[in-house]
């Protein structure tokens, strides 16, 4: 039974990847992180000594504080945040409890370095449709909720990478791109270690919609149609991304919780 100021790993796992997920802050000291260099998906690191900076970054949102074992650091930081009027909980058992529950962990070896504000910065070409929307959704929900996405003319991407220290994605001859028959979304799922069943299944839907292999999953055609429709509704790529986030939220929840459910019509079918 968790304490009143705690959330269990299983409870938190149901929130990660959804719009209802609280802010997740990892306050481990550097030595503890280097001993186990993985993050809980969607979390970011922050010094336990900088309470004021953390409170400002959280901005009034509910948060969960994470340390190595769910003891002094997370208890102390969450207590300070509650003192500042914020709704802060402790992850029961910390990252060790999460690991021992065999829950997905973010492999950080390819995580881009953050900018001065602690955000990863990504760049790709203009007018996204499927993969260039699916990848930002994955990043925002599971990797870096504060990530910045720059959509630029294709020929200017290399210069933007150099000038703004941005990470390119879904382009030829870059690390975060298509590999063989798989698309960039697949690459990110695999390289970040997010290879659990709901995301793997969603990756097949994204792959089929993005590479014109609509036979991979029955939902590929629907995702492609919705993506093309959204691209014609919004001229601004950031507005398009904002509008498409709920679409991918819905596909993820379907992939996680509702793949066996069908629509029952007529309502009295099978009752006679």
Across the chain, mean pLDDT equals 95
Residues 6 or more apart whose Cβ sits within 8 Å of residue 272: none
pLDDT band at 262 (very low <50, low <70, confident <90, very high): confident
Q: Where are the domains of the chain?
A: 6-106, 121-258
Nearest to 36 by CA among 108, 139, 112: 108
Residue 272 predicted with pLDDT over 70: no
How far CA 45 is from CA of 23, 41, 113, 127, 138, in Å, comes to 11, 12, 12, 32, 18
pLDDT band at 230 (very low <50, low <70, confident <90, very high): very high
β-strands 148-152, 63-66 pairing: unpaired
Q: What are phi and psi of 174, to 5 degrees?
A: -125, 165
Q: How far apart are CA 66 and CA 60, in angstroms?
A: 18
Per-residue pLDDT reduced to its tens digit, 192-226: 999 999 999 999 999 999 999 999 999 999 999 99
Per-residue pLDDT reduced to its tens digit, 66-87: 999 999 999 999 999 999 999 9
CATH code of the domain occupying 6-106: 3.40.250.10
Nearest to 210 by CA among 235, 181, 188: 181
């Amino acid at each position: 039974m968790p304490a009143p100021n705690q959330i269990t790993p299983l409870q938190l796992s149901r929130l990660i990847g959804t719009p209802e997920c609280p802010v997740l802050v990892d306050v481990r000291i550097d030595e503890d992180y280097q001993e186990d260099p993985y993050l809980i998906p969607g979390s970011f690191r922050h010094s336990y000594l900088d309470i004021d900076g953390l409170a400002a970054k959280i901005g009034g949102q509910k948060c969960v504080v994470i340390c190595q074992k769910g003891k002094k650091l997370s208890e102390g930081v969450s207590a300070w945040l509650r003192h500042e009027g914020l709704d802060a909980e402790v992850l029961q058992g910390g990252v060790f409890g999460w690991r021992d529950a065999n829950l997905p962990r973010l492999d950080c070896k390819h995580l881009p370095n953050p900018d001065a504000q602690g955000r990863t910065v990504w760049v790709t070409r203009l007018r996204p449709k499927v993969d260039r929307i699916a990848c930002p959704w994955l990043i925002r929900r599971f990797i870096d909720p504060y990530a910045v996405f720059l959509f630029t003319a294709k020929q200017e991407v290399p210069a933007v990478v150099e000038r703004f220290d941005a990470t390119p994605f879904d382009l030829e001859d870059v690390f975060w791109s298509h590999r063989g028959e798989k698309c960039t979304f697949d690459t990110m799922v695999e390289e970040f270690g997010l290879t659990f069943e709901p995301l793997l299944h969603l990756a097949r839907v994204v792959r089929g919609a993005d590479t014109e292999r609509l036979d991979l999953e029955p939902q590929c055609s629907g995702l492609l149609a919705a993506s093309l429709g959204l691209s014609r509704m919004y001229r601004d790529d950031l507005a398009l991304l904002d509008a498409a986030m709920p679409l991918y939220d819905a596909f993820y929840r379907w992939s996680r919780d509702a793949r066996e459910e069908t629509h029952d019509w007529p309502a009295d079918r099978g009752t006679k």
